[in-house]
Amino acid sequence: MSRVATKAVGTLLTSTAVVGVTGAVLTGRVVRAERRAILPPVLRLRPDGQPAIVVFGAQTLPTGPSDELIARLEHARALFEQGLASTIVVSGGTTVDDDDRTLDETADMTTWLIDHGVPAAAIAIGRPGDNTRQTVATMGRLTREQGLQPWLAVSSPFHARRILDEAKRVGIDVVVSGPGDSPVTSTPHIRRFQLLIEVLATAYYAMPPTLTARTRTPLTSVRRRIAEYLIRNEE
């Protein structure tokens, strides 16, 4: 083998090892955060802050929130009823379905919470919230403007690591709490798929914002469509 070929093989093996180690480390961080998210949350109260719950959006349907989003909303309502916070911020985006109907996650989340006993006065809309980065940025703005902090972020447990990393970048105090039982967490192969996507998304979010702004990806919509397909075919 020539010297050039030997060097090329060595570079390839080194790159493969680096990618493998990085992937293993990220997977470990995602899984550890997921496990912590299903434990009872402990908030560190601040004398200059007001605790608030924020619910991260998920797929909504023409009939209302998807089962995964309902699991998040039920969990948020339980935390609210425990008195952990007096405000629930719902954050999400809008999509257009195959029949050209606009589906508004925050509107459906608000309606569900009110229909299930949460006072309308305790609910606030957090926008923009089309993705994790936007929702956490909105949380940062509400902290600066209204003193909402610490945050009790409610999402599916597999989402916890990315929320925590983004909150650290924004500089806000966040504890992630998620339902221990949902369509994703109760279906092993769907959970494994979501964990894989989260590892990739966590790596993507760790990239400099100036770079990610130039490399927009439809990862969220693709992930939701695949997860919806997997859940539908599990039934």
Q: Is the pLDDT at 219 greater than 60, yes or no?
A: no
CATH number of the domain that residue 158 is part of: 3.40.50.620
Are the C-beta atoms of residues 176 and 150 closer than 8 Å to each other?
no
Closest CA to 89 of 80, 98, 102: 80
- Does 227 reside within a domain? no
Q: Is residue 75 part of a domain?
A: yes
In a domain, 105, yes or no: yes
Q: Please indicate, yes or no, if residue 120 is contained in any of the structural domains.
A: yes
Which strands form 50-56's sheet, in the order they lie side by side? 123-125, 88-91, 50-56, 148-154, 174-177
Confidence of residue 21 (pLDDT cuts 50, 70, 90): low
For the record, the structure tokens of 177 come out as 């709490």
What's the chain's length in residues?
235
Pairing of strands 88-91, 123-125: parallel
90-148 pLDDT, tens digit each: 999 998 888 888 999 999 999 999 999 999 999 999 999 999 999 999 999 999 999 99
In a domain, 113, yes or no: yes
Whether 45 and 175 have beta carbons less than 8 Å apart is answered as no
Residue 41 lies in a domain: yes
Residue 230: band (very low, low, confident or very high) from pLDDT cuts 50, 70, 90: very low
| Rounded CA separation 123/110 (Å) | 7
CA 27 to chain centre: 16
DSSP state of 99: T
Section 59-69 average pLDDT: 93
Which amino acid appears at position 223 of this protein?
R
- Domain of 154? 36-180
Banded model confidence at residue 186, pLDDT cuts 50, 70, 90: confident
Q: What is the pTM of this model?
A: 0.83
* 219 inside domain: no
Total count of domains within the chain: 1
